[in-house]
Amino acid sequence: MERVDVAIVGGGPAGSSAAGAAARRGADAVVFEKGVPRADREGLGPDSTDAAGMLDYWIDLMDYRPEEIPDDVILSRLDGAEFVGPTERVTLSDTGIEASYDGFGFAFHRARFDDWLRAEAEAAGATYRVGTAVRDVETDLSGGHSHRLTLADGDEIEAEYLVLADGPQRTVTMGVLDQFVPDGRSMRDHLASTTANHIAYQEHRRFPADVFDPELIKFWWGLIPGHTAYPWVFPNDDRVVRVGLTMPIGVDLDRVRNRDAYDLLSDEDEQVPPGRVYLRRLLEREYGDRYDVPEDFPLVEDRGKQGGTEAYPISSTRPIESPTAAGVAVAGGAMGTTSAFHEGGDHVAVRTGKLAGELAAEGRLSRYNDAWRDAIGEEIRRNVAMADLVRGYEPADWDRTFRTADRLLDRGGTGLVEALTTGVDAVKLVGAYKRRKFALRNGGYVQFREDEYAV
């Protein structure tokens, strides 16, 4: 049987970053990626579904220098973000967090980003097996740790270390971790709660020149019901825009309070409309007075996954720690780093992947949970606190938040993070955001700790 030092399940940003870091430190690292066909990539590769926006300080969190990102990965350099409520809107042109990148951020080509990370890993000596899924993993803890991976084609590989980077669907992660969850419980109880599962849907559309703003990303809040449910617009090159949304699965419209306040719902809706209907209504709401939407905003069929569209299940769970004593590190979406606001996860995936690969190669994986908390803990804490606070928000709350944020901006000198949290804070009154953030200190956002595993 083939034997390797580090086996990595999943070839997205977390997996490729783990492979590169491990190979750079001399380990024999192999990535197993099931392989997903996409219209915007030749041959099979990782899933690569993404709105693909990067904020300035996220580049530092990835532990890259801005000049290391290849030019062809960047599609559009951004000046700011606009947040739109039912009637209020606010534009922020500064994240307010120190960053080496000169600018607000950029929109990028996710498939090229993933291909770049893979090329870096291969240049460092990692190998890829693309096109066959990992079907099963069995861990043997007698005399250290070893993991036997079984692929869908029947091949078997043994690895000393295992990095789980199979994304938020966690098809492999769940089964591996269940080996170490005590008392007959399952990791599913923590990571797959039906109240925490979302769906993302996205379309690539060419916008008319006079409404295409290459420098602004936009988010609409309070237009569709559900916790962290919102549409967005991300400008790319050549007037192509990713119009997408995320929403929880299973919202019961009969239980939505003030349903008339949600602009993208119609009186006739008996259940939550599909993503494509919501997006059509969004474009009609914004541009329908001046344009024939289907005609003037055509789908760009050679982009995205298929026919100009893509869908992806995502998860809003909180992060878990890894059972490092078993030689296992969970990284990126699989560990729940894309926690609260789903469109922000590539940076934390890259960083956790790098740390997992590096520490596995050096035989110091026991450092992993502390290392990722040191590197990205503050970012996760901020996101989890914000998401907790806006639970139960209705359209009028979003308007009040954006009005407050806008007033703060008028007074000058505030960034995205401060303006939004202070806006939310003002609606909730007296320091709620700060209190929530304080309650999550010392890793309080972690939902399964290392000492809870039976290893």
Provide the binding-site residues for ligand FAD, judged by CB under 6 A. 9-15, 32-34, 36, 46-47, 49-53, 133-134, 165-167, 171-172, 200, 202, 244, 312, 314, 332-334, 338, 342-347, 349
Judged by beta carbon, residue 26 or residue 313, the one nearer ligand FAD is 313
Judged by beta carbon, residue 134 or residue 326, the one nearer ligand FAD is 134
Q: Can you tell me the distance from the alpha carbon of 164 to that of 214, in angstroms, rounded to the nearest whole number?
A: 36
Q: Can you tell me the distance from the alpha carbon of 231 to that of 221, in angstroms, rounded to the nearest whole number?
A: 7
Judged by beta carbon, residue 70 or residue 296, the one nearer ligand FAD is 70
Judged by beta carbon, residue 111 or residue 365, the one nearer ligand FAD is 111
Minimum distance of ligand FAD from residue 169's CB (angstroms): 6
Judged by beta carbon, residue 248 or residue 333, the one nearer ligand FAD is 333
In the bound state, the residue with its beta carbon closest to ligand FAD is 345
Three-state secondary structure call for residue 29: strand
Minimum distance of ligand FAD from residue 232's CB (angstroms): 8
Minimum distance of ligand FAD from residue 83's CB (angstroms): 15
Minimum distance of ligand FAD from residue 255's CB (angstroms): 26
Q: Can you tell me the distance from the alpha carbon of 354 to that of 16, in angstroms, rounded to the nearest whole number?
A: 8
Minimum distance of ligand FAD from residue 210's CB (angstroms): 25
Judged by beta carbon, residue 114 or residue 286, the one nearer ligand FAD is 114
Judged by beta carbon, residue 32 or residue 207, the one nearer ligand FAD is 32
Judged by beta carbon, residue 109 or residue 428, the one nearer ligand FAD is 109
Minimum distance of ligand FAD from residue 192's CB (angstroms): 15
Per-residue HEC secondary structure of 188-222 comes to HHHHCCHHHEEEEEEEEEECCHHHCCCCEEEEECC
Environment class of 268 (CB within 10 Å of its CB; exposed 0-12, middle 13-18, buried 19+): exposed
DSSP result, 160-188: EEEEE---TT-TTHHHHHHTT-STT--TH
Minimum distance of ligand FAD from residue 309's CB (angstroms): 11
Minimum distance of ligand FAD from residue 346's CB (angstroms): 3
Judged by beta carbon, residue 200 or residue 328, the one nearer ligand FAD is 200
Tell me the CA end-to-end span of the chain in Å, nearest whole number. Answer: 26
Minimum distance of ligand FAD from residue 47's CB (angstroms): 4
Q: Can you tell me the distance from the alpha carbon of 348 to that of 344, in angstroms, rounded to the nearest whole number?
A: 8
Q: Can you tell me the distance from the alpha carbon of 184 to that of 204, in angstroms, rounded to the nearest whole number?
A: 45
Q: Which amino acid is at 231?
A: P
Q: Which residues pair with 244 in a beta bridge?
A: 202, 232
Q: Can you tell me the distance from the alpha carbon of 281 to that of 277, in angstroms, rounded to the nearest whole number?
A: 6
Q: Which residues pair with 274 in a beta bridge?
A: none
Judged by beta carbon, residue 154 or residue 182, the one nearer ligand FAD is 154
Distance of CA 164 to CAs 168, 177, 181, 273, 353, Å?
11, 10, 16, 34, 9
Minimum distance of ligand FAD from residue 396's CB (angstroms): 27
- Which has the closest alpha carbon to 130: 147, 153, 112? 153
Do residues 154 and 59 lie in contact, with contact meaning Cβ atoms separated by under 8 Å? no
